[in-house]
Each structure stands twice: as C-alpha cells, then as structure tokens.
Amino acid sequence: MLKIKTIFILLAMAAILLPACDRTKKAPKDSPQPSVALPAFDNDSAYHFVKAQTDFGPRVLGTEAHENCRVWLLNKLREYCDTVYNQSFTAKTYDGKSWPCANLIGSFAPEKTKRIVLAAHWDARPFADHDPNPANRETPIDGANDGASGVGVLLEIARQLHESQPNVGVDIVFFDAEDYGPRESESIPGDWWGLGAQYWAKNPHIQGYTASYGILLDMVGSPNAQFMQEQFSLRDAQDVVRKVWSTAYELGHGQYFQNRPGGVITDDHYYVNKYAPFKMIDIIHYDAASGTGFDPVWHTLNDNIEHIDKNTLGVVGTTLLQVLKNE
C-alpha cells in the first residue's frame, strides 16, 4: 500500500533513476576533512528545541498538546523571522473526522524574489502501530525523531539567520497533519498522509508563491543516521540533491550523507512536487536493516527524546546553513 514513509521498490523507476545517480559525483564513503569552515550552528540549541516540543506531549490533532505546541512554535518564529503566517485549515482524516490544523510559516527577507523553502512536519502520530508491544499500538507517540527533529533543526537555523541574514529569501514551513494516516493493518485508498503539505502546495500562504527549490527534513535525529538519496527527490530535483550532498561532503559529513540511492518515499515533498510550481527534496534517515526502512523506533513509543543525537542534528543543520550561504 502506497503511503507516507512506506518504502517500496519500483523497478521501472529504479531503471530510470539509477543511471541518473551514476552521473552524480562519486564520493568516498569516509568523510574527508572539511574543505570549508563550518557554519555557526548550536547542536545543544537544536536539541533543546526538539525536547521543548516533546515536553508538550504527543502533538496529535485535536489535543491540548497540539494547540500548546502550535502557539509555542508561532512565538519562536515571531522571535526570529521577519514575517510569520499561521495558515489555518481543516483536515479531514481517513477515519472521516475533521480537525482544525495549521501550517506555520516564517519568512526571512520577504522582499527577495529568489527563495528557498526549508520544511518539516510538526504533528505527531496518534498511535504507535509499529510498537513491538501490541498493548502500546493505540498509544500516541512523542515523535521526537519523526517530526520534532526536523523542526528543531529549522528553529536553530532560524535563530542563526536572525543573527546573519541570508543572501536569498528563506521560508521555513512547518507542515501540520502529516502523520495521521491509516494504521499499518488498514487498507484505505486515498492520499491520507501529508495533509498539511497537500493544502499548502495547493493554497500557498502568498498567492502565486514559488521558490527556486525546497528541502524537507524528516527523521534527522537518529544516532549515526544515514541519509541516502531518496528516489522521488532524484527523479524530480536531481540538481538539488547533488547540491546538498556535495555540500555535506565538503563539510566532512560524507559518512552521514551517503552518495547512493535510498528508498522511494511518499513524504511531504511528494505532494509539494505534485502540486506546487517548484521542486522539493527529502533528507530522511534510511535503515535498510530495520525491516521498515526507517529507524527501529519509527512509529513506536521509543520515538522519544532519549533517542535523539545532537551530533546528527548538527550535521544536518550545518549542511543546510552552508547550502544557503552558497546561494
């Protein structure tokens, strides 16, 4: 069943994509010494932003934790960004329920026409349907890695951009209603994942909005994470993949940013690429040995702050800041 964060192999797509991958610059597996100075990024600060989210409790649609976190995120964006938008919408989920939701957008240099989008989702899964203990599978998860890690990295980037304005316009987008999809055991047709991304791509916060490209972060806090090149990203924006992965290599992060194809993942970027007038790639941890393709804590109660690694947050954060610096 095609759903967000389910990895599936499409042989026809692989036949198209792998030759394209071969044209990218090959990098050794081991990380080199950095060839450029590392941008300012505070790993501890990013970790603090992740923990602050999980401290609210599971950020599940319709809960007090979800609303409290929304207010906190808006206040942090207002503290750092030039312009902030609270894009309210109603999401109808696969179970027929309707929920008040909000995509949160913070913009830097809104007057600049060249724009880069950095995105993550901020909601949490309402049930731990992959937990090894069946008794836990109806319990909401903290979503420390699956959601909060990407948001934490982007909040720290926002804090840094507040101190040193970028050469291009930057829009940080926190998507809501990403992770309220059917349980693993349910087969329900329809696009029930990435609802916030679908809404924003069809109804941008500014009429006629576009960008040069976008970068999505998802599950970027695992210890010793490996970010392989997701195949929808390669298909739709190979040049952006090459830009990000080569930048990571120059910073000495080659052990994290693996120069080889990963899974085919229907994440928020898929819907942006489908509906918006620009393309977005996905930086997402891939674990071929886990059985799901993701970190073993994915959609379990173990997706908590204890399994977040500050160094991984820093690797992703410094890479994105350098990408912006190079524009």
pLDDT of residue 88: 98
Question: Using one digit for the tens of pLDDT, what is the confidence trace for 281-311?
Answer: 999 999 888 888 999 999 999 999 999 999 9
pLDDT of residue 27: 39
**Residue keyed to tokens 């399994």:** 307
- Name residue 91's beta-bridge partners: 99
Give which of 123, 122, 96, 269 is closest to 190, Cα–Cα: 96
Average pLDDT over residues 154-168: 95
pLDDT of residue 185: 84
pLDDT of residue 145: 98
Give which of 198, 182, 207 is closest to 121, Cα–Cα: 198
Q: Is pLDDT above 70 for 217?
A: yes
Assign 1 to helix, strand or coil.
coil
Indicate the helix (H) or strand (E) that contains 75. Answer: helix 64-80
Give which of 61, 8, 74, 307 is closest to 179, Cα–Cα: 61
Alpha-carbon gap, residue 158 to 89, rounded angstroms: 24
Average pLDDT over residues 90-95: 98
Give which of 260, 196, 256 is closest to 4, Cα–Cα: 196
pLDDT of residue 35: 65
Average pLDDT over residues 185-211: 95
pLDDT of residue 18: 40
Alpha-carbon gap, residue 55 to 65, rounded angstroms: 9
Q: For the chain, give me the number of helices (H) and strands (E)?
A: 8, 10
- Name residue 324's beta-bridge partners: none
pTM over 0.75: yes
Alpha-carbon gap, residue 285 to 162, rounded angstroms: 28
Alpha-carbon gap, residue 49 to 30, rounded angstroms: 30
Average pLDDT over residues 244-270: 96
**Residue keyed to tokens 């006629």:** 208
Average pLDDT over residues 144-155: 98
Q: Which amino acid is at 83?
A: T
Alpha-carbon gap, residue 33 to 42, rounded angstroms: 20
CATH 3.40.630.10 fits 7-326, yes or no: yes
The dihedrals phi and psi of 169, each to the nearest 5 degrees, come to -75, 140
Distances (CA, A) of 9 to 35, 61, 99, 294: 36, 31, 33, 15
Q: What are the domain boundaries of the chain?
A: 7-326
Please report, to the nearest 10 degrees, the dihedral formed by the alpha carbons of residues 257, 240, 249, 223 taken in order: -20
For the chain, the straight-line distance linking the first and the last C-alpha, in angstroms and rounded, comes to 39
Q: What is the CA radius of gyration of the chain?
A: 18
Residues 6+ apart with CB under 8 A from 151: 49, 50, 53, 73, 120, 121, 122, 174
At 28, is the pLDDT very low, low, confident or very high (cuts 50, 70, 90)? Answer: very low
Assign 107 to helix, strand or coil.
strand
pLDDT higher for 12 or 203? 203
Q: Is pLDDT above 60 for 24?
A: no
Measured on CA atoms in the order 298, 299, 301, 303, is the torsion positive or negative? positive
